[in-house]
Amino acid sequence: MKKYLVQFKPFLIFVSIFFLTYIVLTLLYKFYLNSYEADDLDSITIVTGKNAELLLKLFNYDVIIQKSSQNPWQEIIMNGAYLARITEGCNAVSVMILFVSFVAAFSGKFKKTFLFIILGLISIYILNVIRIALLTVLLFYFPKQNAFLHGVLFPLIIYGYVFILWIFWINRFSKYAK
């Protein structure tokens, strides 16, 4: 048994750090969400929606993203018509938790790890705002493609980007990079 523990030690360390980081960050996020009333929306999601609205207005789209008066989401209104909604799951925090957990599990030097995490989180947030804005425009012009756009294409883009960040991290900065 000891032979196998020694043989698989790097893998066991990776899995332990990954799951510990993931569980701690997820619990912290759940505590954060629980600080809001059940019919209210958290501030991260509100800021994400407002940034998507600003981006769309930058490109001269007639769009309003506002808090629903009766539900815990933001309504996207484009050209005067209700188009979609932004819920807590749209803020990409769960993707960010996954990203941080993986990078922490393959950590390198503290300063590089910390900077990569911060820059990665910022870039994921920016990509997510762009994702919401693009999804809004595409849903306006192609409403019948909702399932494909929201369920396939845009998750592929954001998770694909995180995967590329992970590969870059492992090959350039992690303690396993050569």
**Average pLDDT value for residue range 2-31:** 89
The reported pTM is: 0.91
**Average pLDDT value for residue range 150-165:** 94
Q: How far, in Å, CA of 50 to CA of 168, rounded?
A: 31
For 90-139, the pLDDT digits (tens) are: 999 999 999 999 999 988 789 999 999 999 999 999 999 999 999 999 99
Q: How far, in Å, CA of 100 to CA of 96, rounded?
A: 6
Q: How far, in Å, CA of 37 to CA of 40, rounded?
A: 5
Domain boundaries, the chain: 2-37+91-172
Q: How far, in Å, CA of 66 to CA of 52, rounded?
A: 11
